[in-house]
Amino acid sequence: MRQKIIILDFGSQTTQLIARRVRELNVYCEILPYNRQEAVNAPDVIGVILSGSPFSVYDPAAFKIDLGAIPSDMPVLGICYGAQFMAYRNGGKVEPAPSREYGRAHLNHVDANDPLMKDIHPGMQVWMSHGDTITALPDNFKIIASTEDVAIGAYADTTMKRWGVQFHPEVHHSQCGMDILRNFVVDICGARQDWNADAFIDSTVAALRSQLGDDKVVLGLSGGVDSSVAAVLLNRAIGHNLTCIFVDHGMLRKNEFNQVMADYQGLGLNVIGVDASAKFFADLAGVTDPEKKRKIIGRDFIEVFDEEAHKLKDIKWLAQGTIYPDCIESLSITGTVIKSHHNVGGLPEKMNLKLCEPLRLLFKDEVRAVGHQLGMPERLIKRHPFPGPGLAVRILGDITPEKVAVLQEADDIFIQGLRDSGLYDQVWQAGAILLPVQSVGVMGDERTYERAVALRAVTSTDAMTADWAHLPYEFLARVSNDIINKVRGVNRVCYDISSKPPATIEWE
């Protein structure tokens, strides 16, 4: 049986980070909204982590759980609000801190005998982010770490197996954070640390074989990492009972369709490539509104995919490369659970097939590790994210095959330049955008009046927030020069220096 740690989410921004850190320790964990606490009683749960929260424990709207319903031999670690909540509910005192505490602090007292504090020493840096502070502990709890400003930096009730930390061990700036999490999940909860790509592949291949039997499965490939890894995993499990469909809507990158098809065939996938670009261009003609473009592309994609899938016989399942961040049910401040599950443009509803999502337990970096273990080429695994509607959302205004061709050339120079300069893997995502403006230039003795292209490159970890990539000026100068010299119809290049928020990664 696979063991797991449950992280009960009280709405903190760092809840996903806690899960990633636990996974980095090769321990499987799941995030659940706080109001799913009954899940901790399952036989495979070996420990519970209570996350932070935007609320104060004494706020009437604060998220609450029944601590008494957690089995008494189940180790629990409260982080920030989680720690305050456990202390408060057990008779301790939580009050607003004299001043809100954000940022670095250093431990000045550590109880080295407590199992949570093994190998943790005074002087180590931790990261604080709280407005309230615990001012008195319940009788049976004892202080196991302090900082200069926070006397109750961490506490324990070893008999009841309850621990709390006021700081955030999950954030990178907490120097001893990984050690504390390791002490909790490995030493205290007894996790085996056997969650890795190989184990995932073995167990998933076995599970897919028993789930799918001799059934036939169809999967839509996009050229992206998630659908590609899902396809290779399924191919390993059920071979040619899997048929993949890769739709070319005409707005992919330069040569992308042929390159990706060749990669897929090289991986032994049973893949049908469909050139549907004429249909997409016809339906998009004259459309300028970004949302309308997306809707048309989504609708056309479903029509084309559905038509191709119907040519296949006896398909029972639709497979998708949905990954864990798409499935986590996130909490809004009102406590409503928002299901943030995106599936590709409503395909499952339309097709009336059973849904198979072999990657739904994995974070993106884990998907990449699985792809690597499956022997997939690095250029597929490390590919930047690319929006489903492709260059259509990077051509501002109406779309024509001619504009796509211009943008493909500019984009190709930029992306190839990033690869040649060793910068490709340092950015999360990059691309060129064709602007709906023309401006005056001079080439030789001629006045020109041509298009402008914007370059966008961002750093990010999850696309929820992003910063513009600080690419070297020399590199940008070279790319700008190349684009203006080589791409007909472009006489100006700009670099987008907006972060997300308030901008977004894509321009449309």
Residues contributing to the site for ligand XMP (CB under 6 A): 294, 385, 387-389, 429, 463, 500, 504-506
Tokens of 249: 């809507």
Indicate the length of the chain as a whole number.
508
Is 168 annotated in the active site?
yes
Q: How far is the CB of 225 from ligand XMP (least distance, A)?
A: 12
Q: Give catalytic status of residue 80 as yes or no.
A: yes
Helix, strand, coil distribution of the chain in percent, nearest 5: 35, 25, 35
Least gap, CB of 496 to ligand XMP (angstroms) = 12
- Which phi and psi angles does 446 have, rounded to 5°? -95, 140
What is the closest distance, in whole angstroms, from the C-beta atom of residue 501 to ligand XMP in the complex?
Answer: 9
Residues facing residue 459 across a β-bridge: 467
Q: Which of 101, 130, 170, 366 is catalytic?
A: 170
Tokens of 99: 């001043």
Catalytic residue among 168, 308, 356, 357: 168
Integer Cα distance of 288 and 285 in angstroms: 9
Distance in Å, CB of 460 to ligand XMP, minimum: 8
Smallest gap from residue 206 Cβ to ligand XMP (A): 31
The radius of gyration of the chain's CA atoms, rounded to the nearest angstrom, is 26
Please say whether the beta carbons of 403 and 386 come within 8 A. no
Tell me whether residue 322 or residue 429 sits nearer to ligand XMP (CB atom).
Answer: 429
DSSP 245-266: EEEE-S-S-TTHHHHHHHHHHH
Least Å distance, CB 461 to ligand XMP, is: 12
Cβ(273)–Cβ(220) below 8 Å: no
Q: How far is the CB of 429 from ligand XMP (least distance, A)?
A: 5
The helix/strand count (H/E) of the chain reads as: 14, 20
Q: Which residue's CB is nearer to ligand XMP, number 126 or number 328?
A: 328
Q: Name which of 18 and 392 has its Cβ closer to ligand XMP.
A: 392
* 270 neighbors 240 (Cβ within 8 angstroms): yes
Letter string b/e over residues 241-263, b meaning 16 or more CB atoms within 10 A of that residue's CB? bbbbbbbbbbbbbbebbeebbeb
Residue closer to ligand XMP (CB basis): 168 or 383: 383
Residue 348: CB minimum distance to ligand XMP, A: 16
**Which residue, 134 or 380, is less far from ligand XMP as judged by CB?**
380
3-state secondary structure 61-87: CCCCCCHHHCCCCCCEEEECHHHHHHH
Q: 494 has which bridge partners?
A: 454
Cα–Cα distances (Å) from 392 to 133, 398, 409, 411, 493, in that order, read: 50, 9, 15, 13, 19
What single-letter amino acid sits at 213?
Answer: G
Of residues 327 and 463, the one with the C-beta less far from ligand XMP: 463
* H or E element at residue 278: helix 277-284
Q: Which residue in the list 29, 80, 189, 356 is annotated as catalytic?
A: 80
Measured in whole angstroms, the distance separating CA 154 from the mean position of its chain's CA atoms is 30
Complex with ligand XMP: residue 114 or 357, whichever CB lies closer: 357
Residue with Cβ nearer ligand XMP (410 or 505): 505
CA dihedral angle for residue 237, residue 243, residue 244, residue 245, rounded to 10 degrees: -170
**Which candidate, 284, 324, 315, 328, places its Cα nearest to that of 220?**
315
CB of 436 to ligand XMP, least distance (A): 18
Beta strands in 270-420 (DSSP E): 271-275, 315-319, 329-331, 337-339, 354-356
Q: Which is nearer to ligand XMP, 294 or 299 (CB)?
A: 294
- Supply the residues annotated as catalytic: 80, 168, 170
